[in-house]
Amino acid sequence: MPIQPTLETTRLILRPLSLADAPSIQCMASVREVADTMISIPHPYPDGEAEQYIRRKISELEAERSVLFAIERKSEKAFCGVIEIRDIEREHSQAELSFWLAVEVWGQGYMSEAH
């Protein structure tokens, strides 16, 4: 299994996702404004979906198809979103960047800092 590093920026920690993040994901992804920005987030967000999502992402990391980081604010040690490099195609040296943030931290420059 690939070893995923933890990265730090001035205000953020980008760390591996874990099942402990499920309650935060469940709460934040349930907000309509977040779902409206992501084709892959259903609304309403079903109960139990966060755990399935995390397990799926861990499996994709193991298969080297994606790398996903939980975004955490350093000052509060608070989960606030995810950033992912997905659909990795080594043969063509391409992938997609996908991300979302909790609505309450929009407009603060976190995503620009994370990527």
DSSP the chain: -PPPP-EE-SSEEEEE--GGGHHHHHHHHTSHHHHHH-TTS-SSPPTTHHHHHHHHHHHHHHTTS-EEEEEEETTTTEEEEEEEEEEEETTTTEEEEEEEE-GGGTTSSHHHHH-
Q: CA 88, 18, 79 angle in degrees (round to 5)?
A: 95
Residue 5 is encoded by which pair of tokens? 């590093």
pLDDT given at position 72: 97
- The whole-number average pLDDT for the span 40-51 is 87
* Cβ-contact 45, 35 below 8 angstroms: yes
- The whole-number average pLDDT for the span 53-61 is 91
- The whole-number average pLDDT for the span 8-19 is 96
Domains along the sequence of the chain with CATH: 7-114 (3.40.630.30)
pLDDT given at position 75: 93
What's the CA gap between 4 and 109, in Å, rounded? 24
Assess whether pLDDT exceeds 80 at residue 1. no
pLDDT given at position 74: 95
- The whole-number average pLDDT for the span 27-32 is 89
Residue percentage of the chain with pLDDT more than 90: 57
Torsions phi, psi of 22, nearest 5?
-55, -45
Res. 42 pLDDT band, cuts 50 70 90: confident
